[in-house]
Amino acid sequence: MTKVLTDARSIRIKGRSFLAVMLSPDLPFDDWLARLDDLAARSAGFFLGRPVVLDLTDLQIDRPQLKELIAELAKRNVSIMGIEGARPSILGSGMPPALKGGRSASDIEVQANEPADSAVKPAVAEIRPATTQSIVIREPVRSGQSVIFPEGDVTIVGSVASGAEVIAGGSVHIYGALRGRAMAGSIGNASARIFCRKLEAELVAIDGVYKMAEDMAANLRGQAVQLWLEDDAIMAEKLT
């Protein structure tokens, strides 16, 4: 007799990937939480409803400190979906699960002429995605909407309203006013850039380094601008 292994009572399990925000705290936690509060205050709703992973790699803390940190984040409505890089000894019941194998960047191809001696570090190491992908959104991004594309570049043929956001694994191109948030290089691409026809942004970020509206030069407001990352600082210049 042949037994049917699927019926109406079967449980369907599927795999699905999501783009999560990675928070990498540092000591002392009080100072780090103060900086987090500053970001949240100046960009309302940044963490609201967003999956967050806590990266504890190389952070020497014990279990009570971790519990206190998670509790402080919960007070700020930051829900931790998982913890990466933590020693097993500091994890326990009631805590978010341990995660590993997260991919912080697209697949890369290594230059064939890199030095064979691992002790020799090249002056400039070029890392390029094996494939380049992009999407084009042919309408404005309205307040409350999010465009998230970790696989590559995002082009918006229109404006990005205040309260809206665009998150790209590559560069962000906006052929209109940028009034909301734009985050390029979201999965570890420091060479990503942000281009917009009119800069009025609430927040811009490249590879995790962010700049708020009040931190931007006044002479760039309302101008066509490109932004890029240089020595862990966001640089900007007018487009001609």
Cis ω on the peptide bond leading into residue 28 (within 30° of 0)? yes
Annotated domain spans of the chain = 21-99, 132-238
In the chain, the largest separation of any two C-alpha atoms, in whole Å, equals 79
**Per-residue pLDDT reduced to its tens digit, 3-25:** 555 555 566 666 656 667 788 89
The whole model's pTM is what? 0.58
CA 94 to chain centroid, in Å, comes to: 26
pLDDT over 80 (residue 106): no
CATH topology of domain 21-99: Alpha-Beta Plaits (3.30.70)
**Per-residue pLDDT reduced to its tens digit, 182-236:** 999 887 888 999 999 999 999 899 988 888 888 888 899 999 999 999 888 899 9
Establish whether domains 21-99 and 132-238 are of one fold: no
What token pair was written down for 160?
């990005």
**What is the CATH architecture of 132-238?**
3 Solenoid (2.160)
Nearest to 188 by CA among 89, 123, 128, 104: 104
Q: What are the distances in angstroms from CA 35 to CA 122, 143, 211?
A: 34, 25, 13
